[in-house]
Amino acid sequence: MKNKDQIHRFNQGISPVISSLLLLLIVLLMCGAIFMNAAGWMESNDLTAVKPVKIELVDASCGNHADDNSRFQDNVLILKNVGGNPVPVGEISLKMTGKGDAYQGIPGSGGKMIIGDIEIRYEHLNVTDKNPNYQKQNAEMLKDGIWSPGEQLVLTGNDSKSSADSSVFVGVNGNFSTSNNYGLTAGETIDVVAFQSNQIVFKNTFSIPKK
């Protein structure tokens, strides 16, 4: 009888310990699952954790109105996809930053040229809300809607369809109330970032040759 009482008390003492260990194990497993989910979310939102595209600056002929009286249409950047995945033109956007100028206001209705730190945003690379010349200059890329390796992308400072109806947006010194056309200062550099579905697929700095 004494042995049975001892065994019963022993079992009663062990039960809380086992319960505590099981509870601790459950908590650890839950923490591990939360950590893995968080890590997966962070990875999926890491803008560098995507398949890259290799882009080269083939040619650049740029200038701004203040320095050399260049017109917006005189500013030409030719970028070439030289490797990586083909990218649908409707899914890829560009952000370019450097030195340059833009017209503040609507041309012919009052305004002025402003010069300084410029930011140029192409919402996409298809023809919607762009100057008709954009389609002519990029016919090869646009015929199947894919920017494939070996194909060139031609950008000009006059790609905007209009200041009110555009898929190209231009700001100077943080001021985006411009005509959305642009000039780039020769002899400076330009940072080019390409996004696909809001994730970075390319980032580099190019030098703009002096005239």
DSSP 71-87: -GGG-EEEEEEEEE--E
Give the global pTM: 0.75
Torsion angle defined by CA atoms of residues 83, 84, 89 and 92, in that order, rounded to the nearest 10 degrees? -120
Query: What is the tens place of the pLDDT at every residue in 26-57?
Result: 756 664 544 444 444 333 344 444 578 999 99
pLDDT (0 to 100) of residue 42? 38
